[in-house]
Amino acid sequence: MGCLCENLAGTELALSSNCIGDLWIFQNLQPEEMKALAQRAMRKPHERGAAIFFQGDEADEMFLIKAGRVKLTKVMEDGAEITLDIRKAGDFLGENMLSEDIEYPVTAWCMEKSFVCGFSKAAFEKIVLDYPNIGLQVIKNLSSRISSLTDRVGSMSLTNLEDRLHRVLANVAANTGLEAKEA
């Protein structure tokens, strides 16, 4: 089954090859679970300058950016607005919606015409009720992500530059490297 976004986005946008089921948060799902995710996902086009969500809004949707670039900004207490990140096609937004009653901590602005694919909280909860393994895998994947981020923060606290570099390289090798056969 091809990505359903291709039919809805039109030909003017270059879509990411990632589909919603390919995201790290949905790793290790069965084919029928990935198909259910893809079929039930909402798809939305956004014009340049449009907000996908605003800082302080109820965090009730998560998205895969299929096309375009999205700037994440935060308004500070003194009124200053800072850019925290720029996300591109293939990146994920809003996974914090899985927390109870939380607000978006940033605003997501479309820097160009964009297309997103994702779920509302209610729709995702319905999918999990229909496919309980999706919920279990998301919990496992989030736990793994927390462990990885905790390890990264721990490596930043090392004072010795060589130790920090070694830890960073070991993490990169573990996450993206290929095991070589010994000769």
Task: Kindly give, in sequence order, each residue whose CB lies less than 8 Å from that of residue 23, ignoring residues fewer than 6 positions away.
Answer: 64, 92
Least confident of 52-61, 80-89, 95-104: 95-104
Q: Which domains does the chain have, with CATH numbers?
A: 5-127 (2.60.120.10)
Sheet containing 92-93: which strands, arranged edge to edge? 42-46, 114-120, 61-67, 92-93
Task: Kindly give, in sequence order, each residue whose CB lies less than 8 Å from that of residue 25, ignoring residues fewer than 6 positions away.
Answer: 92, 95, 138, 141, 142, 145
pLDDT band of residue 125 (cuts 50, 70, 90) is very high
Rounded to an integer, what distance in angstroms lies between the CA atom of residue 122 and that of residue 129? 11
Q: Which amino acid is at 54?
A: F
148-161 per-position pLDDT tens digit: 778 777 766 666 77
